[in-house]
């Protein structure tokens, strides 16, 4: 597993990197890779998402090949795109989603934040609101997209949508929940460490 830090990158650029990597992983021309990054402000929506969940007709929403509904990405949010070959790992997307949720739960705990799953919904919540969104796609069982963890309060970007198709969905961040100032690099380091260990435990070949 290779981990690449892309810094702050436009969505279209990251999307193209994902597609190329997915092709290369499928053909064994590249190792499975975790991309970590922040996006410039952007709204995306999954394959079956309802565009009526955009509450502002003036915003541009990009439809992409992942599950889930509409969400917002912007600086202060740590985005992770694992490019993983699930054909080597049981072809189980549900298990993969639970793996990503567990990654966020454990990372949040490293900063003293209690978080949890909500039955029937994909993502990670605290008692105050949704902490992380998760949406994945797969091309011939090679995954794309992944998770978006709110590190800094960037909640204004969510005010123009029903996040993940949920009306009146409260949002929160690691900073708010931990009541401390966090550096994105701190959180990124914990995600890297947690991902490498959990990947071996949850998704062995």
Average of per-residue pLDDT across 101-119: 96
Q: Considering the domain 2-202, what is its CATH architecture?
A: 2-Layer Sandwich (3.30)
d(C-alpha 131, C-alpha 205), whole Å:
30
Catalytic residue among 79, 100, 103, 164: 164
Please give the pLDDT value at position 118.
Answer: 92
Please give the pLDDT value at position 168.
Answer: 75
Buried b (16+ CB within 10 A) or exposed e, 93-124: eeebbebbbbbbbbbbebbebebebeeeebbb
Check whether 96 has a pLDDT greater than 80: yes
Check whether 90 has a pLDDT greater than 80: yes
- Side-chain half-sphere exposure of 205, counting CA atoms within 13 A: 5
Please give the pLDDT value at position 156.
Answer: 77
169 is a catalytic site residue: no
174 phi-psi bin (left φ>0, alpha ψ -120 to 50, beta other): alpha
pLDDT digits (tens, 9 = 90+) for 135-194: 999 989 999 999 999 999 777 788 777 777 777 778 999 999 999 999 999 999 999 999
Residue 14 in tokens: 């990251």
- First-last CA distance in the chain: 12
């Amino acid at each position: 597993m290779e981990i690449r830090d892309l810094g702050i990158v436009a969505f279209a650029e990251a999307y193209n990197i994902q597609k190329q990597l997915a092709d290369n992983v499928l053909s064994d021309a590249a190792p499975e890779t975790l991309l970590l990054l922040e996006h410039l402000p952007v709204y995306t929506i999954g394959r079956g998402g309802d565009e009526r969940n955009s509450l502002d007709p003036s915003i541009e929403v990009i439809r992409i090949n992942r599950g889930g509904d509409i969400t917002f990405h912007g600086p202060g949010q740590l985005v992770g795109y694992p490019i993983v070959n699930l054909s080597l790992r049981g072809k189980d997307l549900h298990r993969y989603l639970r793996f990503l949720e567990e990654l966020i739960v454990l990372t949040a705990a490293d900063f003293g934040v209690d978080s949890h799953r909500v039955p029937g919904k994909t993502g990670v919540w605290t008692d105050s609101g949704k902490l992380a969104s998760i949406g994945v796609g797969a091309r011939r069982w090679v995954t794309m997209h992944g998770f978006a963890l709110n590190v800094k309060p960037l909640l204004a970007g969510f005010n123009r949508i029903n996040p993940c198709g949920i009306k009146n969905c409260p949002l929160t961040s690691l900073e708010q929940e931990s009541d401390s100032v966090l550096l994105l690099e701190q959180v990124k380091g914990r995600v890297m460490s947690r991902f490498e260990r959990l990947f071996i435990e949850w998704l062995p070949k």
